[in-house]
Amino acid sequence: MTTHEQGQAKRSPADWLLFVVGFVLFSALGFWGTPALLYAEKPQPFQFSHKLHMEQVSDGCKSCHYFQEDGSFSGIPALEKCKDCHSDTPNGDTPQEKVFVEQYLNQNRDVPWLVYSRQPDCVFFSHAAHAENAGLECAQCHGEHGDSTSLRRYEYNRLTGYSRDIWGWNILGLGGPPKRMKMDDCANCHRDNGVRDACFVCHK
Amino acid sequence: MNWDRRAFVKFAVGAVVGIHASPLVPKLMDDSAIWTQNWNWVPTPEKGALAFANSVNPETGTGVRARLIKGRLQGERLIRIEGDDQHPASRGGVVPADAAAPQNMYYGDFRVQTPLIWDPLSGIHQAATWDQALDLVAGKLAELYKAGKSQTVAAIGADAESVSGEILARFMAAYGSPNLAFMPSAKQTLALAGWAMLGERNLGFDLDHAKYVVSFGTPLLEGFGAPVAVRKAFANWRQDYQRTGTLVQVESRASVTASQADVWLACKPGAESAVALGMCQVMVSQGLYDKGLVDGALGFGETDKGKGFKALLDAQYTPAQVEALSGVPAKKLVETAVAFAKAAKAVAVCGPGNAGEPGRLFDFMAVLALNCLKGNLGKEGGLVVRQPLPLKPLGEALAPVAKPRLDALAGKRLIDGYDPLSLAKAALAGAPYKLGALLVVNCNPAYSGPQASLMAQMIKAAPFVVAVSPYLDETAKMAQVILPAGTWLESWGDSLTPYGSPVGLYGLHRPLVNPYPQAKSAGDAILALAAKLGGPVAQALPLASTEEALKVRASGLGDFDKLSQQSWWAQAKPAYGAPAMKTPSGKLEFFSMGLHNLLTAKASDGAAMDKMLKALGVTASGSAALMPHYEPVATGGHGKLVLAASASLRASAASQTTAPYQIKVLDNTVLSHTKDMVVEINPATAAELHLAEDDRVRVDSAAGGAEARVHLFAGVAPGMIYMPVGLGHFAPANAFTFERGGNYNRVAEATADPLSGTPVWSLTQVAVTKL
């Protein structure tokens, strides 16, 4: 056949199968390969059981995650708070407490917990405005930590360094809680609830 | 199925479409954008537990609240200085020098982090331990002591009233040297003027309640006393956009204060007191003065000492004469005087000069006279007497040192005092004896003067210099031994009532953070030296630390822990009520018997007194010499223009170093072309000198010179040139301020104030040449 004749010859519809194969293969790469390559796990310093601790304290979540006098939120408690109950002799016999006492408490080192909801420095967030004024429950954004016996898996984005919780565990950004915490998610909630969503509300 | 190029292309297109149908592209784009935000454009402190702590800045008297973060890795860091809204004077405000203080504190390259000893072989300062440094200094001092030369050791301190000042004074007295000088301040001048006329050293201006304020030659809104307190008072006069208070500013430049005032009386440089006396004359001639207080005062009418104040006013300070002296139109003068006299709560204010100079005695006396005529003594909104702060001394009073002083004016002074300039002049002359060693504690005379070039010369020439300083500043650079001091945010110390405050205020600062563990409080450095020396010096200072000294000092102010947490103590409100006159006559004295008695103690008869007064620089003769009067400013030197400083809250007080943040807020009428200082000249004067806007010039006086750029500003009196302060640092360790602009203190020539002998450096004759 001449090239011209070749060109004129009918092509097999099976050619388009290749299109489909290419499409399926690479969209799969996009959907599943991306998160697999992008995210990595980092273990927490040691496992912490919220359930166990909730049974011991009298004030619920507020025992360790509370508002200070000036209205700022205490966040994840510092070593000083742990010392309220823990001392250099372990209270129980869990291997995790042993790690805590030996490697952190006795050495007066603050535990470098990995924070699931860490936002960039440009973001101003007030727990008081949300938890007290708006009456949101902790679990609505952070998930049911309080009932967990161990800390959730912490994965971070290799490129940005932020927790996987921010974009959301689903690559499409669906599902939750814990709620996604991208800027749009905050803005959407503000808009839906008629709260101001101007730039300066969160970027001071 | 053809396995050819086209098939491959179909596959490839499918792949591309597939990728784009997945979240990969938007996800990676979003992540890349966030990745770029992670680059360290702006270093941020680690997050951590938040805490607040109070303090008071000793330089500005502002009550501040420090915001501290305790990071898990970085430890406690001070991240911001805010105002303490409970502080009765500053009420939550801060000035740039307060806000920028943490920046200087954390500027590691500029801080003295360990004791440093000059190594002549390598030509640099080498790090040493405290023991090594103290051994060296104590060794040198002990050597001089044993040789009977303790008086050859001189010391310069920042604030005589502070606890470190008191510790230094006890150290020098016990060691046996009379040569202790402190930076001169307007507080001394006001105290002296008050003593001369009222027998009262502790005076303040009740600006908060005043309704008509006339400020004479002082930058009321740009660096007077505790700047924030004054600004708060000023805000009262402008409440709700209404002018409930009137401010009249008398000076020779359209400064910020003059611009924000209701009336600006533009007067010739140095003639502000003539304006005050003119106002006095108008009030007296129109009978608009407090007859009850004034008619019976000593020296108002004729006395056996000569013609009284009233006659002096009528002879020399009529509106027409004052117009000739000062340039203020007679009509305007009369108008202002009458308004002042008739206002319900009026006060006349005097204070430090634009560069923080101490002010002149007779100028201050003129302003006090105006207040007395107004009759606002002890009244709301007027001149008030403060209760002295109930502070206890650190120990038994020590006997004054019997050795002869080094300063040039020793013996010739009428008013006892000791200023660093007169020390420098004598030290450089090498008479009556040579300097053996020099201690400079918490100040920077090589930069801030008075007359910085002379101070720098003295420091260079001194055989052994010890600097106790937080910074590797101009003075420390020249020292043989540098002992690291903490800044006010990291050390113990105190500050007493700011200039002009109507209530007694005590400010205490304590260590809030400890970024440089080897830095000690300035008082601690001296105490450590005393302990090393042992003997009578250690006995005079049996205090373990500055904190202990403060406990002793402030024992009358309540619980020390509470005081150090709150950081301030204040008299609840001004002590209103007619003050008791503690003058020799028991009355208000326009003719100062206090000064007269000092004179008669030193001079035997009238002729000798006249001679002494002339020697002290007083041009007035007869009884006028001891009354409030106008002394023309002795500017000396050569040059056609008169140089003065332009005050600004954006620059720092003379001794505190300018922070990089402060450099950033200077606009291009102060600092232009990155490094050039800008001087202001009246357009007509500039035209005469053939100078145009932005020309580079050199400004020279007998004391020194600086380069600058010209800015034409009609708000400057003709024949004058105004220079900003706070620029022209030459300590290479501070890259932000190094060689930016010129140093006003180098160009300004200090002269001795007539009678008081205090150095003043407000006006200097300069020559301006185009470069």
CA distance B430 to B375: 50
Average pLDDT for B100-110:
93
B669-705: string of b/e by CB count within 10 Å (b at 16+)? Answer: ebbbeeebbbbbbbeebbeebebeeebebebbbbbbb
Q: Given this model, what pLDDT does residue A1 score?
A: 61
Q: Given this model, what pLDDT does residue A61 score?
A: 84
Q: Given this model, what pLDDT does residue B645 score?
A: 94
Question: Is A30's CB within 8 Å of B35's CB?
Answer: no
- A170 Cα to chain B: minimum distance (Å): 10
Q: Given this model, what pLDDT does residue B648 score?
A: 86
Q: Where are the domains of chain A?
A: 40-76+113-202
Of A26, A68, A173, nearest to B15 by CB-CB distance is A26
In chain A, positions 110-149, which contact chain B (CB-CB < 8 Å)?
110, 112, 120-122
Q: Given this model, what pLDDT does residue A88 score?
A: 82
Residues B296 and B321 occupy one common structural domain: yes
Residues B421 and B556 occupy one common structural domain: yes
Q: Which helix (H) or strand (E) covers residue A99, if one does?
A: helix A95-99
Q: Are B697 and B742 in contact (CB under 8 A)?
A: no
Q: Given this model, what pLDDT does residue B269 score?
A: 92
CATH code for the domain of B520: 3.40.50.740
Average pLDDT for B675-704:
95
B694 pLDDT more than 70: yes
**What is the pLDDT confidence band of residue B39, given thresholds at 50, 70 and 90?**
confident
Measuring CA to CA, which residue among A150, A145, A148, A182 is closest to residue A165? A182
Residues B198 and B133 occupy one common structural domain: no
Task: Name residues whose C-beta falls within 8 Å of residue B496's C-beta, 6 or more positions apart in sequence.
Answer: B161, B162, B389, B391, B505, B506, B507
Tell which of B548, B570, B592 closes a domain. B570
B67 pLDDT more than 70: yes
Residues B231 and B138 occupy one common structural domain: no
Whether B383 is in a domain gets the answer yes
Whether B757 is in a domain gets the answer yes
Residues B655 and B741 occupy one common structural domain: yes
Q: Given this model, what pLDDT does residue B158 score?
A: 92
Q: Are B725 and B744 in contact (CB under 8 A)?
A: yes
Q: Given this model, what pLDDT does residue B42 score?
A: 67
CATH code for the domain of B205: 3.40.228.10
Whether B25 is in a domain gets the answer yes
Residues B516 and B467 occupy one common structural domain: yes
**What is the pLDDT confidence band of residue B134, given thresholds at 50, 70 and 90?**
very high
Locate A182 and state its tokens. Answer: 């991208």
Whether B49 is in a domain gets the answer no
Q: What is the mean pLDDT of chain B?
A: 92
Residues B647 and B725 occupy one common structural domain: yes
Residues B533 and B613 occupy one common structural domain: no
User: Percentage of chain B with pLDDT > 90?
Assistant: 76
For strand B346-349 and strand B212-216, is the pairing parallel, antiparallel, or unpaired? parallel
Whether B74 is in a domain gets the answer no
Residue B604's CB is within 10 A of a number of other CB atoms, namely 9
Q: How far apart are the first and last CA of chain B?
A: 87
Whether B575 is in a domain gets the answer no
Measuring CA to CA, which residue among B646, B603, B656, B647 is closest to residue B626? B603
Q: Given this model, what pLDDT does residue A9 score?
A: 64
- B23 Cα to chain A: minimum distance (Å): 6
pLDDT tens track for A56-95: 888 888 889 988 877 888 888 888 888 888 988 888 888 9
pLDDT tens track for B513-561: 999 999 999 999 999 999 999 999 999 999 999 999 999 999 999 999 9
Whether B102 is in a domain gets the answer no
Instruction: Kindly report the backbone phi and psi dihedral angles of residue B706, in degrees, each rounded to the nearest multiple of 5, phi listed first.
Output: -155, 155
Question: What's the predicted TM-score (pTM) here?
Answer: 0.82
pLDDT tens track for B295-352: 989 999 988 878 899 999 999 999 999 999 999 999 999 999 999 999 999 999 999 9
Whether B156 is in a domain gets the answer yes
Measuring CA to CA, which residue among A55, A42, A41, A53 is closest to residue A77? A53
Sheet holding B212-216, edge to edge: B263-266, B246-251, B212-216, B346-349
Q: What is the mean pLDDT of chain A?
A: 86
Average pLDDT for A148-158:
91
Measuring CA to CA, which residue among B564, B192, B163 is closest to residue B389? B163
- B367 Cα to chain A: minimum distance (Å): 47
Measuring CA to CA, which residue among B70, B193, B142, B259 is closest to residue B647? B259
Q: Given this model, what pLDDT does residue B238 score?
A: 83
Lowest-confidence pick of A40-49, A106-115, A176-185, B156-165: A176-185
**What is the pLDDT confidence band of residue B409, given thresholds at 50, 70 and 90?**
low
**What is the pLDDT confidence band of residue B630, given thresholds at 50, 70 and 90?**
very high
A178 pLDDT more than 70: no
Residues B558 and B611 occupy one common structural domain: no
Of A19, A33, A160, nearest to B38 by CB-CB distance is A160
Residue with tokens 């009456």: A135
Average pLDDT for A147-158:
91
Of B15, B27, B28, nearest to A22 by CB-CB distance is B15
CA distance B282 to B289: 10
For strand B48-56 and strand B63-71, is the pairing parallel, antiparallel, or unpaired? antiparallel
Question: Is A22's CB within 8 Å of B10's CB?
Answer: yes
Residues B277 and B342 occupy one common structural domain: yes
Residues B592 and B602 occupy one common structural domain: yes
Q: Given this model, what pLDDT does residue B673 score?
A: 93
B473 pLDDT more than 90: yes
User: How many Cα atoms occupy the beta-carbon half-sphere of A62 within 13 Å?
Assistant: 8
Q: Given this model, what pLDDT does residue B654 score?
A: 53
User: Percentage of chain B with pLDDT > 70?
Assistant: 97
B637 pLDDT more than 70: no
A6 pLDDT more than 70: no
Query: Domain range holding B291?
Result: 188-388+580-626
Q: How many domains does chain B have?
A: 4
Average pLDDT for B669-696:
95
Q: Given this model, what pLDDT does residue A8 score?
A: 62
Q: Given this model, what pLDDT does residue A34 score?
A: 87
Task: Fill in the amino acid letter for A53.
Answer: H
pLDDT tens track for B391-406: 999 999 999 898 889 9
Residues B217 and B173 occupy one common structural domain: no
- B49 contacts in A (CB within 8 Å)? 74, 78
- A167 contacts in B (CB within 8 Å)? 27, 30
